[in-house]
Amino acid sequence: MTGARLPESGDDGPTAELMRARRSGELSALDRLLLHSPPVAEGWNALLGALRGATTLPADLRELVVLRVAVLNDADFEWVSHEPIARRAGLAELQLQVLRRPDAVGEPVWTPVQAAVLAFTDASTRDVVVPDEVFVGVRTHLDDRQVVELTVLVGGYAMVSRFLVALAVPPPEGEVAG
């Protein structure tokens, strides 16, 4: 048992191997829960693998989005897993502290592109509808591909956080690879 609302699944089979390959050989509690449904786990693995490793968004923006979604959806697992990655991507201690506050968007610790991405993440996560002025702010900094990647990144990590929170998956001891 993981402490989650469901027991962990077995960790063998072709889908588990695909997940291990993306995660440098280790499966997380999240993975073991997903493996109750191999087709869902396989699709999840492909989508999250693309979001984590095949987009053109800079790493600091990607991790800013992941951590903000974690905060907005109270997903401790997501925060604990990604905070070390965010630090390596260049987010500073003060930025990480501010990111946890409800009014993080308006704080003067962000670059213009970070502020625009943060406003987009907040609007999309909180209200789903992204106001025109927020969208224009993102378009000032991102090309068409990056806007698509940002939008799917916000939605993808909203999915992750909702899964983790609904199944009460406890935070890991530290970073979860891949």
> How many degrees, rounded to 5, is the angle at CA 150 between CA 148 and CA 154?
120
pLDDT of residue 11: 87
**Rounded to whole angstroms, how far apart are CA atoms 33 and 27?**
10
46 CB neighbour count, 10 Å cutoff = 12
Q: pLDDT (tens digit, 9 = 90+) per residue, 150-178?
A: 999 999 999 999 999 999 999 987 667 66
- For the chain, give the mean pLDDT: 94
pLDDT of residue 4: 87
Share of the chain above pLDDT 90, in %: 86
Nearest to 62 by CA among 50, 80, 72: 50
Domains of the chain: 14-53 (no CATH), 59-166 (1.20.1290.10)
- What's the pLDDT band for 3 if we cut at 50, 70, 90? confident
The residue to which tokens 């068409």 are assigned: 144
**Rounded to whole angstroms, how far apart are CA atoms 6 and 103?**
35
pLDDT of residue 71: 97
How many Cα atoms are found within 13 Å in the side-chain-facing hemisphere of 82?
26
The answer to whether 100 and 72 have CB atoms below 8 angstroms apart is no
Token pair of 121 as six digits: 């993440």
